[in-house]
Structure 1
Amino acid sequence: MKEKIQTNNAPAPTGPYSQAIFQDGFVFISGQDGIHPNGESAGETIALQTEAALRNIESILKEAGGSLENLVFVTCHLDELTEENAHEFNQAYRKYFEQVENKPARITVGSQLLDGKVEITAIAAIGS
């Protein structure tokens, strides 16, 4: 059975979608960008926006009964995929996964984002 996951510790959806959906032991997390739960921008840098997006993902996972340890796949969108931006992104991303033994599989792509520099979607396995 499909179940909506919603927390006040991440930004509310701005359109017709859920923060996350739990189905068959997996949590599918909608794109999280560099926005604080109150809707304010985390800042102009890739690092600040990456940290905010990952905090949001972490909060959603906690609401679902999991943690970053449960992530199995992450899709990362950068507004400009350059070596410099990828490096800044990876430095911020690395901090969140230092303690995670089995880091999730990941893809990082360049995307035309509506707002901001970073958006991250994720899939986690939490159990049935």
Structure 2
Amino acid sequence: MREVIKTNKAPQPIGPYSQAMKVGGFLFVSGQIGINPQTGELVPGGIEAQTKQVMENIKQILSAAGMEFDHVVKTTVFITNIDDFATVNRTCGQYFSELPPARSCVAVAILPKGALVEVEIIACR
């Protein structure tokens, strides 16, 4: 059985998708970019600020599903500049315990709304 997970504490989808879908014990969170949920705009401050906002948005979606970062088993990170890899690592790493999830990181040409980073996750209870 599938359950749509949504919260007003994270940005609303900018396309035909859900913030997250819960299937059995798994949670699939759609790619999040550094949008401030109150303004609907990308946060200023570059890659570090956007990555922090992404992770805060994911935190709110996890919370709406009754989960937290310790439940995350896989992340996929998309960045527009591979030179930002270390900054994204450092910022994302602050949200995970001593057991970080599996991860892929891909450099892409462009992201929605001109974002510098996008992260999607899979969590499991």
1:20 and 1:88 map into 2 onto residues whose CA distance is: 26
In the other structure, the counterpart of 1:111 is: 108
The alignment's C-alpha RMSD in Å is 1.1
Tell me, which stretches of 5 or more residues in structure 1 are unaligned? none
1:124 and 1:59 map into 2 onto residues whose CA distance is: 13
Q: Runs in 1 of length 4+ with deviation above 2 angstroms?
A: none
1:66 and 1:95 map into 2 onto residues whose CA distance is: 17
Q: TM-score, normalised by structure 1?
A: 0.90
Q: How many residues align?
A: 122
% identical aligned pairs? 40
C-alpha displacement at 1:40, in angstroms? 2.2
1:123 and 2:122 are equivalent in the alignment: yes
Q: Could you give the per-residue CA deviations for residues 3-41 of structure 1, whole angstroms, max 9, x where no partner exists?
A: 000001100001110000000210000000011112122
Tell me, which stretches of 5 or more residues in structure 2 are unaligned? none
Q: Which amino acid aligns with 1:5?
A: I
Residues 34 and 43 of structure 1 are in contact (CA less than 8 Å); yes or no, is this contact kept in structure 2?
no
Q: Secondary structure at the match of 2:12?
A: coil
Q: TM-score, normalised by structure 2?
A: 0.93
In the other structure, the counterpart of 1:74 is: 75
1:101 and 2:98 are equivalent in the alignment: yes
